Amino acid sequence: MELTQEQVENFNSNGYLVFPSLFNPDEVALLNGEVADLYSRNRPENVREKSGEVRTNFAAHLYNEIYAKLARHPRLVKPVVQILKEQVYMHQFKINGKAAFSGDVWQWHQDFATWKNDDGMPSARAMNIAIFLDEVNEFNGPLMFIPGSHEKGVLDASHDTDTTSYPLWVCDEDTVGKLVDRGGIVAPKGIAGTAVLFHGCMVHSSSNNLSPWARKTVYLSLCAISNHITKYKRPEFKAQRDFSPIECLADDCLLDNQVEVSLPWKEGFDKEPA
């Protein structure tokens, strides 16, 4: 998958791109079929909300075959390599759940604030690409972006450890208000299989899910290999320490049962943060 010049220009200007139906229904069904088992496991990689629902499953690509293939998928990796003009490694891999009726909020933040402050990532040469595992609509807590906010670079942030069950380096309300006055707010929506690429400095959030429709999203956080992290404050399932460039599989890898991938954490994660 190669981005057009127009897509590259739109990304540089707005900080995000949407790819409708990037994965077909058979591929999405295969990915969805693994989630219940992943969420049911008593593993440290499952971070739960106060309700007990899984908020985030980390690093499934290191112990689940299907997600190990997704982590090497050319439709996800190659656009990031094209924009960064450098090979990338997997900084973080996660499946975020936003449960029907109870999915919690994600405050306004830049992901790079966490990557910089907690992981010692030198610069914002990293970004996310997300895949919708469920339909995302205006009711089930879609991601909200402030277009162009990535152009402001790294913003001042405070470490919020109280608002939700997951600590974030968050932007203050005054900053968010000024950014919205300038760029507005958009909420990319679409059917399951839609993908969204967004800059590490994009200011974004999502509200509670009060609808009867769950919203699960896979996120690959890909970083230029020359820009790898320098601090190991967080456990490895939240901030990977293998800086090897990702080697892409074939485009049909998800549906090809003959493709073999390594699963180094299949028997469990037993590492502690340094």
Tell me the two tokens of residue 10.
Answer: 């739109």
Hey, what amino acid is at 189? K
Question: Does 195 fall in a domain?
Answer: yes
* Strand (E) or helix (H) holding 194: none
pLDDT at 160: 74
Question: Does 253 fall in a domain?
Answer: no
Counted domains in the chain: 1
pLDDT at 79: 98
Full-model pTM = 0.94
* Alpha carbon distances (Å) from 228 to 74, 89, 91, 225: 21, 8, 8, 6
Question: Does 245 fall in a domain?
Answer: no
* Domain of residue 97, CATH code: 2.60.120.620
At 180, phi and psi to the nearest 5? -70, -40
* Alpha carbon distances (Å) from 234 to 26, 108, 229, 237, 239: 35, 21, 11, 8, 6
Question: Does 99 fall in a domain?
Answer: yes
What's the domain range around 222? 6-240
Three-state DSSP state, 65: helix
Question: Does 222 fall in a domain?
Answer: yes
pLDDT at 267: 84
Three-state DSSP state, 209: strand
Strands 215-224 and 204-206: unpaired
> Residue 71 and residue 253: Cα distance in Å, rounded?
11
Paired with 18 in beta bridges are 196
> Residue 244 and residue 157: Cα distance in Å, rounded?
30
Question: Does 271 fall in a domain?
Answer: no
In order along its 274 residues, the chain shows pLDDT tens digits of 899 999 999 999 999 999 999 999 999 999 999 999 999 999 999 999 888 889 999 999 999 999 999 999 999 999 999 999 999 999 999 999 999 998 888 899 999 999 999 999 999 999 999 999 999 999 999 999 999 999 998 888 888 777 766 778 889 999 999 999 999 999 999 999 999 999 999 999 999 999 999 999 999 999 999 999 999 999 999 999 999 999 999 999 999 999 999 999 988 765 443 3
Tell me the two tokens of residue 145.
Answer: 């972006």
Three-state DSSP state, 115: helix
Residue environment code for 42-76, b if the CB has 16+ CB neighbours within 10 A, otherwise e:
ebbbbbebeeebbbbbbbbbbbbbbbbbbbbbbbb
Nearest CA to 231 among 125, 115, 123? 115
190 torsion bin: left (phi>0), alpha (psi -120 to 50), beta (else):
left
Question: Does 255 fall in a domain?
Answer: no
Question: Does 180 fall in a domain?
Answer: yes
Paired with 92 in beta bridges are 221
